[in-house]
Amino acid sequence: MFSAFAVHRVAAGMNRTQKFLSRTSVLSFSTISSASKVKAPPMVYISGEEMTHYASQLFVKQWIEPYFDTSNWETFDLSCKSRDETNDQVLKDAVEAGKRICAIFKEPTITPSTTQVKEMGLSKAFGSPNGAMRRGWNGITISRDTIHITGMELGYKNPVFFERHAVGGEYGAGWNQVGQGTLLTTYLPKDGSPPFVVDK
């Protein structure tokens, strides 16, 4: 449904791009004209903040925009400040654009804590945008692979692929403040038979 949900592949992509550019040294940023750029297809680009936003912008400015015409992209700023200034309208617009275009790239975003709300001068703490995106795009599975950087030992040799199923997850769950104790999971059968505690 969508091309990428986060930028966990940025570092790996940057490494592959560097190798490609080193083999094609005849190309240079200064000699490529806008007329020779490849027209990129429509896509929704959702920017976030902090370090991954910085890395993503380096990637786009240095290795995409010199070679691709990205005028078909629709960009939405989902930083805390932008969400606060628009009263979260920017999130609604991004979700609608994603439903229309069906190709989205999203940088990681911040769900501000109470402390961050004060530090950033926000009017309130907006919730995670990911739940609204999944509901709007019917995106129930997030695929993430690990980033392997040459020269860095991570404790394992083979690539690890993660599948996160965001169905009935924390974004739509309620909660109550409790004290010390034990939390039990109760199963409620649809056939009307008595409920029972799942935990053993």
- Give the angle subtended at the CA of 175 by the CAs of 163 and 47, to the nearest 5°: 50
Residue 124, helix vs strand vs coil: coil
Mean pLDDT, all residues of the chain? 78
Residue 77, helix vs strand vs coil: strand
User: Does the pLDDT of residue 182 top 50, yes or no?
Assistant: yes
For residues 70-77, average pLDDT: 96
pTM: 0.61
- Asked if residues 58 and 46 have their Cβ atoms less than 8 Å apart, the reply is no
Span 85-108, pLDDT tens digits? 999 999 999 999 999 998 999 998
- Asked if residues 50 and 8 have their Cβ atoms less than 8 Å apart, the reply is no
- Asked if residues 84 and 91 have their Cβ atoms less than 8 Å apart, the reply is no
